[in-house]
Structure 1
Amino acid sequence: MRRLYSLIVILVGSLALGFAFNIFLLPHEVLSGGVTGLAMIFGLLSPVNSGIWFFLLNIPILIIGWMKLGKEFIGNSIFAVVITSISMQYIPVVAVTDDPLLSAVFGGVISGAAIGVIIRFYGSTGGFDVVGLLLTQKRDIPLGGLVFCLNSVVVFISGFIFSWDLALYTMASIYISGIVVDRVHTRHIKLNLMVVTNQGEELKNELINNLIRGITVMDGQGGYSNAERKVLYTVISRYELAIVKSLIKRVDQTAFVSVSETVEVIGNFRRE
């Protein structure tokens, strides 16, 4: 059921991405970034649909991702690329507004939300998303900002081929898309978790069995009650918070929990 739910979400995200491209961006020659943007350029300059170019250009990148990011991830990515490619062929390229700035803004928001959801459910739209995910495994870099930097080359290409006004609209669209991706895809955000509990041993075992995280256990004492407590401390990703809250509630509903965002993690912290 989890796998089916993920595929349904990726399907909806891929259809939304094709919609954003064909309804908002392509009618005004406002491009997306990276490989997708190159596919749009080739589609605008040749009789071959952008969706077909999108699929062809992603093949070598997905092969690299297969070796580095795992079969499930690339399987989901291939599914997303195929659905996006098909949707771009069948959704008509029709402008809903004559204002290219509005198209750039709404196209960036919708495409960013779609890409963020697809990545959150362990997939990607290929292209520089795969490259960005490979790099964020090594460094805690916001994915949207990283992909924005990688994608900026498309802005210069579109400026030389079309016009610099459209290149600036493309830059705005890519920037907005990157911001929205970071709002949806929050794996780079790390949280400090401190739990004061009466069930220290049981809760520690539950967290270790369900998370790939080290945990520091300290002895504590209530300031008013003088009762002995266990204090558990660890650092988790934003994605893991929902799992952790559920585990703590199940083991000790009276536990005191403090969660705060951390600025930086140095040392042995698993980022995969």
Structure 2
Amino acid sequence: MYRLLVIIAGSVLIGFAYNCFLIPHKVLSSGISGIAMIIGILTPLSTGTMNFLLNLPLLIIGFMKLGRRFVLYTLLSVVVLSIALYIIPLRPISTDPILSSVFGGVLTGIGVGMVFRQSASTGGFDIIGMLLTHKRDFPLGGLLSAMNGIVVFVSGFFVNWDAALYTMLSIFVTGKVVDAIYTRHIKLTLMIITNKGEEMKQKLLGNLVRGVTLMDGEGAYSSQKRKILMTVISRYELANVKPLIQEVDPSAFVNITETVEVMGLFRRDAH
């Protein structure tokens, strides 16, 4: 239930950002939603309806590649966003297009990040981004910003180039906020020094889908023998790993460092 509520809240927040900050100033959003906005601005068709229809092909691809649960959650987000775009009145909160671009981008990024953290997406290019990040450790927000650059040029031709630049600003801010919230691409290296090496190894292997390297160590001052365990996890797994370490050896020395890149076998879809 918590996951569903977060997805709904994030999707409504995105709809609010669109209708109260972006659309009134003809500042477009990203990907499929941006294309739906262009159609909504240029034609009598509803932005919400077009957003739903344009997402259907990508939802099918997501079902084939990312699984049923992902698509059901994504479909929920798309439906809620489409309803929110239809219900929330088009009423600008700010008369300044730059402020609207920035705050609209921030709110959109928060909403998208909330949805992503529940293993769902808001549809459109987000599905493509999720597919790519399952294969490579790309920052999802930056990847979406790059893919959505096409919307900037489209908006320039169909609206005006001022709106295109505002759109670029909004997309940039959204990408930065998404990366601040959705951090699955960030990997951490844990080095655990303990005198309970075997117990620690069994505890980690029994609760993680990660490999663990076990090495012999010796205290330089005390000359006492220690075991050194090294493993690489995702940022999301850290909250689960800390209690496991404390349970086995509360006095273990743990060094946690951010990993720049992982090569070789590393399971990227672990939670």
Which bin holds the TM-score, normalised by the shorter protein?
over 0.9
Q: Once the two structures are superposed, what CA deviation does each residue of 1:36-87 show, in whole Å capped at 9, x if it has no partner?
A: 1001111112222211111111111011001111111111111111111111
Unaligned runs of 5+ in 1: none
Identify the residue that residue 200 of structure 1 maps to in structure 2: 197
AA matched with 1:80: S
Are 1:245 and 2:245 matched, yes or no? no
1:223 equivalent in structure 2 = 220
| 1:208 shift after superposition | 1.5
Q: Could you say which residue in structure 2 is the equivalent of 1:68?
A: 65
Match of 2:145 among 132, 145, 148: 148
Residues 172-217 of structure 1 deviation map (CA, whole Å, 9 limit, x = unaligned):
0001100111111111111111011122222212212222111101
1:141 deviates by 1.1
Alignment-derived partner of residue 164 in structure 2: 167
| 1:158 counterpart residue number | 155
Distance apart, 1:119 and its partner CA: 0.4
Please tell me the root mean square deviation across aligned C-alpha atoms, in Å.
Answer: 1.0
Tell me the CA shift for residue 223 of structure 1: 2.3
Aligned with 1:27 (options 24, 27, 35): 24
State the SS of the aligned residue for 2:251. Answer: coil
Structure 1 match to 2:184 = 187
Please say if 1:98 is aligned against 2:89.
no
Structure 1 residue 117 displacement after superposition: 1.4
1:13 aligns with: 10
Q: Is 2:134 aligned against 1:131?
A: no
Q: Quote the residue 2:50 is aligned against.
A: 53
Identical pairs, percent: 57
Give secondary structure in 1 for the equivalent of 2:44. coil
- Corresponding position of 1:84: 81
Q: Which residues in structure 2 correspond to 1:260-271 (within 5 Å)?
A: 260-271=257-268
Give the AA of the match of 1:263.
Answer: V
In terms of mean alpha carbon deviation, does 100-109 or 245-254 score higher? 245-254
Distance 1:202 1:77 in 2: 41
Number of positions where the alignment pairs a residue of Structure 1 with one of Structure 2: 269
Query: What is the TM-score with the length of structure 2 in the denominator?
Result: 0.97
1:41 counterpart residue number: 38
Any idea what SS the aligned residue of 2:137 has? coil
Query: Which letter maps to 1:156?
Result: F
Cα deviation for residue 253 of structure 1 reads 1.0
Structure 1 residue 270 displacement after superposition = 1.4
| Runs (5+) with no aligned partner, structure 2 | none
Task: Give the secondary structure class of the aligned counterpart of 1:166.
Answer: helix
SS in 2 for 1:137: helix
Note the C-alpha offset of 1:31.
0.6
Give the superposition deviation at 1:222: 2.1
Corresponding residue for residue 254 of structure 1:
251
> Counterparts of 2:15 and 2:53 in 1: how far apart (Å)?
16
Question: Does the residue aligned with 2:199 lie in a helix, a strand or coil?
Answer: helix
Distance 2:184 2:110 in 1: 15
What CA distance in whole angstroms lies between the structure 1 residues aligned with 2:247 and 2:2? 25
Q: Distance in 1 between matches of 2:97 and 2:171?
A: 14
